[in-house]
Structure 1
Amino acid sequence: MDDVTYVKDEDGKAVAVIVPIRKWRELLDEQHEDAVLVKRAKKVDRSLSIPLAYAQRDLAGENRIKVYREMRGLTRAALAAKVGSTTAHISQLETSVREGGKATLRKIAKALDLPLSVLVD
């Protein structure tokens, strides 16, 4: 900021700044924009915040049911019990031996506290 003037005390320490009104208005606008962004960020639903390690596994193409089951700390047996299925069925879905139908995926998404869209491309 070349267009500011520093007001210094007798020891040479800056104690105030004189800023042109144009620059002052720019700073106020930026401050307002930042406040709006902070307000929006506070409203964001963080229930689907995903730790980086799990997000990287998802992006690398690892099976999403497995990734999010492990993120939620569930075993295959625990997930199977929650969705009324078997451990073998969950295993087949996670290893892509079988594809889940929409009803099954809906139950799994609910059990993992995820939107269905996370499991269905």
Structure 2
Amino acid sequence: MAELTLIVLGDTPPRGIHWSRPGAIHQARWMARNLYSMKMFMFAEQLEYDEETVVKLERLNLFLGLFYTPMWMSSTLAADAPANDLQFMKDMMKFKRTDPEIAQAVLQKLENHKWYLTQEVVPFALFR
């Protein structure tokens, strides 16, 4: 996912670019939609998508590349989750200036995940 994000954002991974055929999603089913949307965007011209679809894919991939992938890559420890979520919320508040529709949708989804933010985990968010 990290290499594909680099490609979508206009860079080349250290080992170069190699495209693989879409395969089984059982191992990465929770991120398959993200991976496929990135590939759809990269091959939009060959797939002859209409302009509206390309714009939507571009907006989604901007969000994925700038926010989702870095957050996913830094979420290896459960103890970091409160601080990561707090930072993600702050980032989405700023992203509202760029793409209010996507930022608001993300913030609404994050509301469903605040149940675990209790007084016991506040120190994890403050002292990372």
Query: TM-score per shorter chain, which class?
Result: under 0.3
Q: Which has the higher helix share?
A: 2
Which of these two proteins has the greater Rg computed from alpha carbons? 1
- Which one has more relative contact order, counting CA pairs under 8 Å at least 6 apart? 2
TM-score by length of 1: 0.25
TM-score by length of 2: 0.24
